[in-house]
Every structure is written in C-alpha cells, then in structure tokens.
A and B are shown apart, each in its own frame.
Chain A
Amino acid sequence: MTQSVADHPILDPRFAPPFPQAVLPVLRNPQLRKNVAHAIDVIQAKRGRLVAEKTDWQELRTAGSALRAHVLENLGTYLEQFESRCTAAGGHVHWAADAAEARQITLDLLRQHNASDVIKIKTMTSAEIQLNPFLEAQGVHAHETDLAEIILQLGEQEPSHIVVPALHINRSQVREIFARTMGLKNLSDDPKELTNAARRYLRQKFLTIPTAISGANYLIAETGGVGIVESEGNGRMCLTLPQTMITIAGIEKVLPRFQDLEIMLQVLARSATGERMNPYTSLWSGVTPGDGPQNFHVILLDNGRSEMLRRPVERQTLKCIRCAACMNTCPVYRQTGGHAYGSVYPGPIGAILTPQLMHMHHAQSLPYASSLCGACYEVCPVKINIPEVLLELRSQVVNQERRQVGRVFDLMYIGLRMANFLFTSAWRFHLAQRLGRIGARLVTRKDGWIHSLPSIGGKWTQTRDLRGLPDQTFHEWWAARAKEAK
C-alpha cells in the first residue's frame, strides 16, 4: 500500500482499494485510531445514558421501523403526494435517476440563478453524488457551512463519519488547519476560539452568497414540507438568508404525515449525537413571500434506490435515517474509522448501502467488512437487520465468484468448496481429520502449539497461535467409551 492512500483516502467505490487493503494505512496511524475511538466512545456513552432513560425505547424502535417499512411499501404514492403538495406551495420538484442527472440538474439551476458561489448545509446525498468536485470543475464554488465540513474542506481532507465527519481529526489538528488557511497565526486550540474563528469565516459567506444547497432529513408527503435537523444553526442561516435553495434528497426520505416526526425526532437525536433533542429543527414548505428563499427546488434522487426497493431483504437498507448509531457501536469501525470503507457512507450501513448503490459492480469487499457481531442491529432505531443484509450481499458476491474463471486460484473459495465436500460426508470428514492430524504434526512445536501456518493459515498465525490437534477427536473418544462399556 502506498503512502498516498494514507494521505488521501479515496471515497469513490469505483476506485477505492478493497477493504482489507484500505485498512492498512489506517491501522498504522495511531493518532487517527485514537481520535476515532475516543470520539465514538464519548458519543456511545451519551447515547447509552439517553436511551436508558426512555422506558419505551423498544416500542419507539418498533414504531420507527414500522413507519419506515410502511413508507417503502407505498413509496410511489407518498412521493407523488409530496410532489403535488410541494409544487402547490410554490416549490419545484425535479426527479433524478442517477448521480450524473442530479449533478446536472443542480448545475442548470445554479446557472439559471447566475450563481458562481453556493453555500451548503451538510448533506450526505450531495457527497454521494460527488457534487462539490463537479461544481468546482464547472466554475461554481461550493462553501460548506457545517463546522466539521469546513474543517475538512479547508484541510482538504475526506469525511470519515456521516454525522460527525471530522471525528478522526482532533482539536490541535483543527487549530493547525484554521491557522494555516484563515491566516490566524496566534490561534489556540481552545474549542471556543476555534468555533469563533469558524463563525467569523461563516458570517462573511452567509451575508454574501444568495444561493444554498441542502439535503433533507425528512420530506413530508402530507404538507409538501422539508425537514432538516442540525446542531450548529448554520443550516438555519442557509434556510433563511439566501434567495434560492436547492434541496437534494434521496427518494426514501419521505414520511407520510407531519405527526410522524413525533417518532422520528425522538429516536434520531438520541441515536445520532446522544442528545434528547437536536438544537435546531427547521421545517419549511415551498415558498413564503417575503420570508426565506423565494426560489425553492427539490431534487429527488434515485441512484440505485428503486432497485433496492424491489428486493425484500435489501429493501430494509432504505429504512435508514442516517443516524450513524451503527458505526458508533461497530467494533470494526472503532478500529478503522471511515476512510477504509472507500465511500462517503462508512460503517455497517455503508457496508450494505455502498455495494448496492454500485449495483454490486464495485465494493464487493464491503459486505465482508464485518464480524457479524450484531451490535449494529441492536442499536438501529429503525431495526435494520444489517447482518441479514450483509449475508444476502455476501451470497451475491459468492454467486459472482462462481461465474469467474479466476476462482480456481482463490484459496478461500477453493477451501470452502472443499470443506463442504468434507462436511457432507462423515466418512470424508473423519478421514480429513486423521490426515489433518498427521499434517499438523509437521507444524506443531514442542510446546504443543502451532506458531506458524502456511498459505492463508498464515493470516491466522500472524497474531495468534493455534493449539495443536489433539490425538483423539470427540467422536473417537465417544466410540472408544461405548466399546469399553460393552
């Protein structure tokens, strides 16, 4: 693995290295690992306390899950309802089949409004469609306004988390980025000073740029409204000061009724940031004369979602409300952080979402980036059975392998096919055990342990020993005992 990958992780699944390779530079970066583990341990502890105080937490999860499942079963109806209500309220709704179309619609709208600069509220969908580099190439400068996104943008770094995208960066690193890019030589790493520096930087953007881009936490079919939850107030500024607002939302984001926020707002902040309620919740419907943006556009993004919707197991991926509780609890993510997933969506949800967004043509290593420990399913506020989806995707990856000629050189593939041949006959299995015992003697040391195995077994013995094979299997012992008894 080259050093450049460590410096600039690739968050494009088409070009990112497979997960087992992508983790190597991360695992050799103790500062990054410490930052990640510390940040998620703090969030996890807060989440744990706030979930514990809700006596009806499991009922809320059940309700959240049922609500999201209901939406997915009736997605077309609710999207059309949203379109007609949003349009009636003065908004414009656009449909984008894929990332390229969404980017083009955004650019056309920006050109229509003569925008050379645009301010942005943190949005995962814009990251998914890689909007910023596209706009930059077309001469439109996108300015992030979320504190973490500013840190990343100014520091030319990649996000590693969907809620706290700069969690891999500590405050002395933030100080360095701000001091360098804002020309503030005497800046300290006091969080208050750092946020004040960001505030001064942001004010100038808010007051001079009349066009904004947002994502959406919720689209409300009943009212045609859009909802954004956030912590810093930058979103509220983007929603009130500019003349033009373009919202890019995945088609799955719709909720039937305004009242459904009752459930979603209770589970989201607790799961995401470990707060009872997020500090800012903004809701708006279309255009209100004299108040807020006077031009309002919503781009509804499909980008592979319809295909997920058709498959009963994978469909639950679309229930996701992007709270990131799964990555905060994931023991894999805790070691690797987000960059190794080679996608803007890391962690367990990324491991199931990214390959599907790529139509299973890329990111085939991601469904295997999990020990299937089930912690993600346990915390998911809308009960996405992530291990179940991981297994389904693994089976699709294996079915792809079965059609590839190169499989005969894949030791894991050959090994598992062989193992099945042995396990489907007790006679063959027992013969293999006897042969294995003889073979093991060659690699077992005097202390009775195997310290080094050849081939893929070496992957095990790089950090663990393996006790040598005992002289008698259980079934041999059982047979001998039965004979004695007679």
Chain B
Amino acid sequence: MRASLFITCYNDTLYPETGRAVVSLLERLGVELDFHPKQTCCGQMHANTGFRGEAFCQAKRFVQLYRDTETVVIPSSSCVAMMRDQYPGLFEELGNESLRREFAALLPRVFELSEFLLDRLGVDDVGAYFPHRVVYHASCHGVRALHLGERPYKLLAKVRGLDLAQMANTDRCCGFGGTFSVKNAEVSSAMLAAKLQDVIATRAEYCTALDNSCLMHLGGAMHRQYAGMKTIHLAQILAATEDAPAEAIA
C-alpha cells in the first residue's frame, strides 16, 4: 500500500520526531510512503481565528498538492477535523466547481493516523513495546469531530509492556484552542491547570494523544511545574520496539 504523509506546520517545525515515528511505524507495517516537500499548513489557525480568506489559500494548496495521491495520512487529529468540518464550507464560499470536485474526491482518502491503522490497514497490534505507565488524553477534535472512539485505546491495548492509566474527565478540553491560548491566555491557563490535575492524578509516566498541539500545551505546563511526567505522541509509542525505544517530547 502507498500513502502520502501530511506533516503539518507545527509538527514539521517543532515536533519532527512525531513525523519520523510515523515513518518508522508505517514502513514497518509495509506501507510505501512519500512526502510532498511543498506542504506547509492545513489552515486551521487562520480558519479558527476568523481569517477565512487566508485559510482558503492554504486549504486550496493542500488539495492541489495531494489531489493525485492514493491515501493521505495525518498524525494530527485537529488538522484532519479542519479538513472534514471546515474545508467544505470554505470551498463552497470561496472556491470554484473544479476545486470542490477535486476535494470531494480527495476527502475520503484522508486519514488520521489511528483511522489509517485500524480502518485502512486493519491492524491493532503494530508490534510496539513501551514498558511505561501511560495515560491517553482524548483531544477534543479526536473525540467530538473525528469520533475516534475506541480506536486509540485498541492500539494502546496491544502495546506490550504498557500500563494504561485512566483519567477522570478524559474528554475535557486542555484549554489550548490555538490562538485562544494567547488571546485568552488567563482562561486557557485556568483550564490547563484543571486538566493537569486530572492528568497528574493518574501517576502515569507519559501523557499521550493523537495531537501534538494539546501535548505542547500540557507538556509546557508539566515542564514549567516540574511535574515529573512527559508527553509523547501516540505515533512514537507505536513506533517504539525493544530495539528502538521511543524518544519523548518533554
């Protein structure tokens, strides 16, 4: 099987280890990967801040770069949610007929990482080994926009050595919200503090998620507070084996 990676702006710049983990994981599963060097951003930050015209430019770029690919894999649930929830409206308002047609044809081939593994490849055991206590943060976009449901838990259940902790209020927002974290920094920080209480109470060594934006938020506070917990993208846990242990974010 062939698949194209879309490693969105902040993952490319700030968390390249997530992209590298996706490569090692999927190649181990026999997927032939390619990566378009001209990709930049899905446009979510602009769309969510009200800059629809700018978001449209980036959405159009994505369709133009990926329209001929067989499958697109994105290790960021909020970027996938952006495409499913917001691209149709943007193209309806600002795009032309051919763009709308190309996007409609492309969208069913766009997968979030856990969707790709379970729905497309049909594997839940990816042969991972991660001997640590881990808690999963069900990010808002993963839960309520993509309806990932049990997918991440199915994957985590098959990781050898992994001790999965349960978090209270697991699907409550961590307070990141993109530019919300800066525009409403004080409220965002209060939400983060509330979330962190639930995360820390699990006594896990790692907090994982399918979205590095939440993890950047949680991990930034963990580091500031000497919390003794680190964040790690689920792709990095799934890529880890006895021979090649994972590299943590924080």
Contacts from A to B (Cβ < 8 Å): 19-20, 23-24, 27, 331-332, 334-336, 367-375, 377-378, 391, 393-399, 412, 416-417, 419-420, 422-426, 429, 433, 436, 449, 451, 456-457, 459-460, 462-467, 469-470, 472-479
* Chain A CB within 8 A of B229 CB: no
CB neighbours (8 Å) of B144 from chain A are 373-375, 377-378
Given contacts A464-B189, A467-B216, 19 further A-B contacts (CB under 8 A): A20-B184, A23-B184, A331-B194, A375-B173, A395-B51, A416-B46, A419-B46, A429-B40, A464-B217, A467-B219, A469-B13, A470-B16, A473-B13, A473-B16, A474-B12, A474-B20, A475-B37, A475-B39, A477-B20
A372 touches B186 (CB 8 A): no
- In the complex, how many residues of chain B place their beta carbon closer than 8 angstroms to a beta carbon of chain A? 69
A24 touches B250 (CB 8 A): no
B192 touches A433 (CB 8 A): no
B48 touches A375 (CB 8 A): no
B residues 105-141 in Cβ contact with A at 8 Å? 140-141
* Chain A CB within 8 A of B232 CB: no
A423 touches B40 (CB 8 A): yes
Nearest 6 interchain pairs by C-beta: A371-B177, A464-B220, A394-B50, A373-B173, A398-B50, A474-B19
B194 touches A465 (CB 8 A): no
Contacts from B to A (Cβ < 8 Å): 7, 9, 11-20, 23, 35, 37-41, 43, 45-52, 54, 57-58, 61, 86, 140-141, 144-145, 171-173, 175-194, 216-217, 219-221, 223-224, 249-250
A368 touches B180 (CB 8 A): yes
How near does chain A come to B45, taking the closest CB pair, in angstroms? 7
A416 touches B54 (CB 8 A): yes
State which of A27, A416, A417 has its C-beta within 8 Å of the C-beta of B190: A27
With most chain B CB atoms within 10 A of its CB, the pick from A24, A335, A370, A469 is A335
A-B contact pairs, 21 of them (CB 8 A): A20-B184, A20-B185, A20-B187, A332-B187, A335-B190, A369-B187, A371-B173, A372-B48, A395-B52, A412-B183, A423-B43, A425-B40, A429-B40, A436-B13, A456-B182, A460-B185, A463-B193, A467-B219, A470-B15, A470-B17, A477-B16
A478 touches B35 (CB 8 A): yes
B181 touches A433 (CB 8 A): no
CB neighbours (8 Å) of A19 from chain B are 184
B11 touches A474 (CB 8 A): yes
CB neighbours (8 Å) of B16 from chain A are 470, 472-474, 476-477
State which of B54, B140, B172 has its C-beta within 8 Å of the C-beta of A417: B54
A412 touches B224 (CB 8 A): no
State which of A422, A449, A462, A479 has its C-beta within 8 Å of the C-beta of B189: A462
A391 touches B86 (CB 8 A): yes
B7 to A, closest residue via Cβ? A474
A27 touches B191 (CB 8 A): no
How near does chain B come to A380, taking the closest CB pair, in angstroms? 12
How near does chain A come to B125, taking the closest CB pair, in angstroms? 26
CB neighbours (8 Å) of A467 from chain B are 14, 216, 219-220, 223, 249-250
How near does chain B come to A178, taking the closest CB pair, in angstroms? 31
CB neighbours (8 Å) of B7 from chain A are 474-475
CB neighbours (8 Å) of A474 from chain B are 7, 11-12, 16, 18-20
CB neighbours (8 Å) of B48 from chain A are 372, 391, 394
B188 to A, closest residue via Cβ? A371
* Measured CA separation A466–B11 after assembly (Å): 14
B14 touches A416 (CB 8 A): no
A463 touches B187 (CB 8 A): no
A332 touches B14 (CB 8 A): no
CB neighbours (8 Å) of A470 from chain B are 14-17
B35 touches A475 (CB 8 A): yes
CB neighbours (8 Å) of B15 from chain A are 470
CB neighbours (8 Å) of B39 from chain A are 426, 475
How near does chain B come to A444, taking the closest CB pair, in angstroms? 12
How near does chain B come to A239, taking the closest CB pair, in angstroms? 40
A23 touches B52 (CB 8 A): no
B33 to A, closest residue via Cβ? A478
A411 to B, closest residue via Cβ? B182
CB neighbours (8 Å) of A375 from chain B are 140, 144, 171-173
A398 to B, closest residue via Cβ? B50
* Measured CA separation A19–B15 after assembly (Å): 32
How near does chain B come to A374, taking the closest CB pair, in angstroms? 4
B50 touches A460 (CB 8 A): no
B9 touches A449 (CB 8 A): no
B40 touches A426 (CB 8 A): yes
A27 touches B140 (CB 8 A): no
B145 touches A424 (CB 8 A): no
B12 touches A475 (CB 8 A): yes
B194 touches A416 (CB 8 A): no
A416 touches B49 (CB 8 A): yes
* Measured CA separation A470–B19 after assembly (Å): 13
CB neighbours (8 Å) of B37 from chain A are 426, 475, 478-479
B221 touches A370 (CB 8 A): no
With most chain A CB atoms within 10 A of its CB, the pick from B40, B141, B179 is B40
CB neighbours (8 Å) of A334 from chain B are 191, 194
A335 touches B184 (CB 8 A): no
Given contacts A463-B221, A467-B249, A475-B7, contact A424 B40 (CB under 8 A): yes
* Measured CA separation A424–B221 after assembly (Å): 32
CB neighbours (8 Å) of B45 from chain A are 416, 419
B177 touches A464 (CB 8 A): no
Given contacts A20-B186, A332-B191, contact A394 B58 (CB under 8 A): no
* Measured CA separation A420–B50 after assembly (Å): 13
